Structure 1
Amino acid sequence: MRWLRPLAVTALCASLAACSTSPTGRSQLLLLSDDQLNEMGRQAFTQYQQDLPSADAASQRYVQCITRAIVEVLPEQQRSQQWSVQVFESEQANAFALPGGYMGVNSGMLDIAENQNQLASVIGHEIAHVLANHSNERASTESATQLGLSVLSSTSGIENQQLLGVLGMGAEYGILLPFSRRHESEADVIGLRLMAEAGFDPRASVTLWENMQAASGGGARPPGWMSTHPSQGQRIEGLQAEMQGAMQVYEQARNAGRTPNCPRP
């Protein structure tokens, strides 16, 4: 039954001391090793690069410029890890994050995001997924409830294909990591602050979701890749609730000379 799941997670946290805390202070269950997940992220990203066409060089420079600006304001430990981002040629307005700092942005997202500030809200959101260990949390929770602790206790008992399935890596492109609504909302909050700290206007995040809303036909049913996401309206409300604090961070960043300039192709 559904009510047993949170009880099981709580029990695991108590018995295994496997609980951690997200950047927003939320308790998390993290059972899997970073090294294992990061390697899986690398393998999945390599597969993406082999299977999907890469976008033009100008689009790559544009997205990488925005990514660098946000990465530069991360704490030293996170800033020094390897971050890889690539733009893939696809009309679907989507982006994804993988363990290890691997990120992909579809060229269709560049049509929705009209300027660097709007795209920075997308990049900040994906970086937030990585910083908050959402893939580990999701895989840990699924593993604890579906595979059982007996499987997790033995590395030799964890088949790559099983964990790939838990992570959602076997799903069709665009829903590689179907994070929960809670994860999406948390990534929105963290990403909003990140983009503001980097000197990108956080108000553009609301405009981006208004664009997404218009592109999906307003009240029309959201595309399949958004099935585990909050609605556009909920995203906008959540961002607006955090906007006052984000604007203060943005003004401080601008006063400190952080004025990113990433020309849109």
Structure 2
Amino acid sequence: MILGESRQEARVKKALVLAVGSVVALSGLLGACAYNEALGRNQFVFVDDSALIQQSRAAWAETLRTQKVSNNAAQNARVRRVGDRIVQAARLTDRPWDYAVFEDASPNAFVLPSGHIGVTTGLLNLAKNDDQLATVIGHEVGHVVARHAAERSSTNAATGLVLGAVQSQAGDYGQAVQAFGGLGAQLGVLLPFSRSHELEADRLGVDYLAAAGYKPSEAVALWRLMAQQRQSSTPQFASTHPSDQTRIAALEQYIASRGWN
């Protein structure tokens, strides 16, 4: 025991370690119930897909209502043209897809499980060609194929349940447990898991853009452009995304392994 540490504090810290460990163990145990062929691994997923889709549709409607949507016909046609080719390559034509361009200088894009993709004008200005735009849209479609939204929601829910149980047993230390435990779980489980998702989506995205007839090498070029304009200095261990260097290195290695150099 650390000098000056009470038995109650020691019990709380031990409980926190066990709690975070139990989330990891639970993910490994229940993940066998859901195998994702595209990823080649098991997933811990218990969140209902229909509920996610319903929430996603509501989120899309709210985003269209609150954000400035571009009426530029050429920009919207470009996103739809590239997006439709990627969706076909990913074999996701079993659902309707909708696209929107948002007037925002930050280069960004997002996808919702309901089949909605948003791209900013900043990203369209950054991407020098359709191959680079296909890199981003392929990445976003990769998240859908990988069921990352359902997996992340399941992991978040499981983590919250375990930490809630620990907090209820912590007595006067409950508030401290909530703060420390939440941060510990986030850094130890949730954020690294998100970085893993991003790298998986990168790999799937390259597969789809290649199948759609775009140049895989432009994926590396796009992320180098992203790295040049990046202003954030958040260290990788505390970020939901891998560093630009990690992402570029992984893409180069994967593209070379497929003989697409």
TM-score bracket, normalised by the shorter chain, equals 0.7 to 0.9
Q: Deviations over 1:167-192 (max 9, x none)?
A: xxxxxxxxxxx970000000000000
Aligned pairs, how many?
213
Q: Tell me, in whole angstroms, the C-alpha distance in 2 between the residues paired with 1:101 and 1:179.
A: 23
Q: Tell me, in whole angstroms, the C-alpha distance in 1 between the residues paired with 2:69 and 2:52.
A: 24
In the other structure, the counterpart of 2:26 is 8
- CA contact under 8 A between 1:88 and 1:107: conserved in structure 2? yes
Q: 1:34 aligns with which of 16, 31, 49?
A: 49
Q: 2:249 aligns with which of 237, 255, 265?
A: 237
Instruction: Tell me whether 1:47 sits opposite 2:62 in the alignment.
Output: yes
- CA contact under 8 A between 1:193 and 1:246: conserved in structure 2? no
Q: Deviation of residue 11 (structure 1)?
A: 3.5
Within 5 Å, give how 1:1-265 maps onto structure 2: 1=17, 2-13=20-31, 17=33, 19-21=34-36, 23-55=38-70, 56-75=72-91, 78-147=92-161, 180-216=194-230, 221=233, 227-248=239-260
Amino acid at match of 2:67: L
Q: Deviation of residue 27 (structure 1)?
A: 1.4
Q: Deviations over 1:79-107 (max 9, x none)?
A: 22112221111011111111122111111
In the other structure, the counterpart of 2:169 is none
CA 210–222 in structure 1, closer or farther in 2 if over 3 Å, else same:
farther
CA 22–88 in structure 1, closer or farther in 2 if over 3 Å, else same:
farther
Mark the runs of 5 or more structure 2 residues left unpaired by the alignment.
1-16, 163-191
Question: Once superposed, what is the RMSD of the aligned Cα atoms?
Answer: 2.5
- CA contact under 8 A between 1:70 and 1:198: conserved in structure 2? yes
Q: SS at the partner of 1:20? A: strand
- CA contact under 8 A between 2:23 and 2:159: conserved in structure 1? yes
Q: Tell me, in whole angstroms, the C-alpha distance in 2 between the residues paired with 1:223 and 1:10.
A: 27
Q: Tell me, in whole angstroms, the C-alpha distance in 2 between the residues paired with 1:84 and 1:147.
A: 35
Mark the runs of 5 or more structure 1 residues left unpaired by the alignment.
149-177, 251-265
CA 61–179 in structure 1, closer or farther in 2 if over 3 Å, else same:
farther
Q: Deviation of residue 40 (structure 1)?
A: 0.7
Percent same amino acid at aligned positions? 36
In the other structure, the counterpart of 1:257 is none
- CA contact under 8 A between 2:89 and 2:209: conserved in structure 1? no
Q: Tell me, in whole angstroms, the C-alpha distance in 1 between the residues paired with 2:252 and 2:196.
A: 17
CA 223–116 in structure 1, closer or farther in 2 if over 3 Å, else same:
farther
Q: Tell me, in whole angstroms, the C-alpha distance in 2 between the residues paired with 1:120 and 1:43.
A: 26
Which one has the bigger helix percentage?
Answer: 2
Amino acid at match of 1:8: L
